[in-house]
């Protein structure tokens, strides 16, 4: 007897109660998984920023932006009275920035009375600067010693007019100027110029004993003579350390 093959149509498969139930279960599982992937971050983000919507979280997930860190950063800024929108924070993260670190830096700057706006802070961070460290250095002055006391030659040696030599270290106290960090004279260059003028001032002394007895007088006009074009740090102090005659 000749057998005839009859293909089973999809509509016939769908009519099967078991297959239909399996289809519904699979579809439901996919929907629940998708909702879960959105609901969990939305709820976490909403704890940080109650105004954030599910649609905004969906958009962020689509653009591969972390909604929780964005919401946390905006709340931190809002609590400090700094108005930054979600879109600004998203743009910053999409460009490779770190919203939470930037928010902490802005809040710290605001608390210290420093003039640091969102645009400048974002520019600093995207230029590779650690904005939190930059803000800290704008609040607390730092002392830089040339040469490094731990180096093999911890003091410079400068001859004076009569040929006698002064051995010392140059200590420079600096504080970062936020508005000059981008495009201003870098801190190492500022320190180099100041140290060069200090060496010239020592060399202009009559003898080494004169410098050793009154080192502050020997360098009192250095900061007035040093030409610093838009320095990224302010020089607050200058003095000689471990002064002696060679």
pLDDT reported for residue 36? 55
Contact yes or no for 113/134 (Cβ under 8 A):
no
Q: What is the chain's pLDDT, residue by residue, as a tens digit (246 residues)?
A: 555 555 544 555 445 666 666 666 666 555 555 555 556 565 666 676 767 777 777 777 777 888 888 888 988 998 999 999 988 999 999 999 999 999 999 999 999 999 999 999 999 999 999 999 999 999 999 999 999 988 888 999 999 999 999 999 999 999 999 999 999 999 999 999 999 999 999 999 999 999 999 998 888 889 888 888 899 999 999 999 998 887
| Two structure tokens written together for 146 | 């040339």
pLDDT reported for residue 132? 97
Comparing C-alpha atoms, which of 46, 98, 103, 54 is closest to residue 74?
103
CA 8, CA 10: separation in Å to the nearest integer?
Answer: 7
For 131, residues 6+ apart whose C-beta sits below 8 A from its C-beta are 101, 102, 105, 121, 124, 125
Instruction: Map out the domains of the chain with their CATH numbers.
Output: 22-139 (no CATH), 142-245 (3.30.479.30)
For 106, residues 6+ apart whose C-beta sits below 8 A from its C-beta are 77, 80, 82, 84, 116, 118, 121
CA 142, CA 99: separation in Å to the nearest integer?
Answer: 27
94 three-state secondary structure: helix
């Amino acid at each position: 007897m000749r057998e005839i093959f009859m293909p089973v149509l999809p509509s016939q498969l769908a009519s099967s109660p078991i297959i239909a139930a399996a289809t519904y279960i699979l579809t439901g599982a996919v929907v629940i998984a998708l909702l879960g992937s959105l609901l969990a971050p939305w709820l976490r983000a909403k704890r940080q920023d109650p105004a954030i919507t599910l649609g905004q979280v969906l958009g962020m997930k689509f653009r591969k932006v972390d909604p929780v860190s964005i919401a946390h950063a905006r709340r931190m800024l809002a609590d400090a009275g700094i108005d930054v929108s979600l879109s600004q924070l998203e743009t910053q993260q999409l460009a490779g920035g770190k919203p939470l670190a930037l928010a902490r830096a802005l809040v710290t700057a605001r608390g210290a009375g420093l003039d640091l706006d969102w645009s400048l802070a974002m520019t600093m961070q995207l230029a590779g600067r650690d904005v939190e460290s930059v803000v800290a250095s704008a609040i607390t002055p730092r002392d830089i010693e040339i040469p490094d006391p731990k180096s093999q030659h911890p003091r410079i040696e400068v001859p004076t007019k009569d040929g006698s030599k002064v051995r010392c270290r140059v200590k420079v106290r600096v504080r970062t100027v936020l508005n000059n960090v981008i495009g201003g004279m870098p801190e190492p260059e500022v320190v180099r110029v100041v140290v060069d003028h200090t060496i010239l001032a020592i060399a202009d002394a009559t003898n080494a004993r004169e410098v050793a007895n009154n080192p502050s007088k020997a360098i009192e006009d250095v900061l007035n003579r040093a030409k610093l074009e838009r320095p990224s740090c302010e020089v607050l102090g200058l003095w000689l350390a471990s002064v002696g005659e060679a």
